[in-house]
C-alpha cells in the first residue's frame, strides 16, 4: 500500500469537461421549443428514462452546428434508455420493448 507516501493529485476539470450524468441515473428530457433547428424529437420531450451510457468524446451542440458553428464549447451526449410504454402511453407491442436515443447534456435533468 503506497498511498501514505504519495501525495494525492489535485486536478481541477474545466467547466463542462466532466459528464453531468452517469450511467444508471434517471433523467427527464426537458420540454422547450427551439426555433430553427433541433435534434431532440418532439415524441421524447418530457419523457423519463435512464442513462445507458455516456458518449465520448464531448461534442459541439448540434443545434448550433446547424447554423454553421464548427467549434465552441463541448458537452456530452448520452444514450438514454426509455421503456416504450413511457414514450407511447398506448403502446401496443411487448411491455419489454425499449427505445434508445442520443440526447445532448443541455436537454436533460435529473429525476
- Of 1 and 40, nearer to other proteins (C-beta) is 40
Query: Is 21 within 8 Å of 78 (Cβ atoms)?
Result: yes
103 part of the interface to other proteins, by CB under 8 A = yes
Of residues 5 and 96, the one with the C-beta less far from other proteins: 96
Question: Which residues are CB-contacts of 111 (< 8 A; sequence separation ≥ 6)?
Answer: 26, 27, 28, 48
Exactly one of 16, 75, 91, 106 binds other proteins (CB under 8 A); that residue is: 91
| Pairwise CA distance, residues 109 & 62, whole Å | 18
Among 41, 50, 72, 89, binds other proteins (CB under 8 A): 41
- The reply on whether position 36 binds other proteins by CB under 8 A is yes
| Least separation in angstroms between CB 18 and other proteins | 19
**Comparing C-alpha atoms, which of 14, 93, 104 is closest to residue 59?**
104
- Cα(71)–Cα(44) distance, rounded to whole angstroms? 27
Binding site for other proteins (CB under 8 A): 33, 35-43, 55, 59, 62, 65-68, 70, 77, 79, 84, 87-88, 91-94, 96-104
Amino acid at each position: 500500500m503506497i498511498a501514505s507516501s504519495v501525495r494525492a493529485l489535485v486536478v481541477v476539470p474545466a467547466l463542462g469537461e466532466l459528464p453531468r450524468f452517469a450511467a444508471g441515473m434517471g433523467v427527464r428530457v426537458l420540454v422547450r421549443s427551439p426555433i430553427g433547428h433541433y435534434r431532440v424529437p418532439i415524441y421524447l420531450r418530457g419523457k423519463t428514462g435512464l442513462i445507458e451510457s455516456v458518449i465520448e468524446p464531448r461534442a459541439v451542440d448540434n443545434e448550433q452546428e446547424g447554423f454553421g458553428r464548427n467549434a465552441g464549447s463541448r458537452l456530452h451526449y448520452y444514450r438514454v434508455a426509455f421503456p416504450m410504454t413511457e414514450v407511447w402511453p398506448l403502446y401496443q407491442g411487448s411491455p419489454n420493448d425499449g427505445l434508445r436515443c442520443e440526447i445532448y447534456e443541455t436537454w436533460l435533468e435529473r429525476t
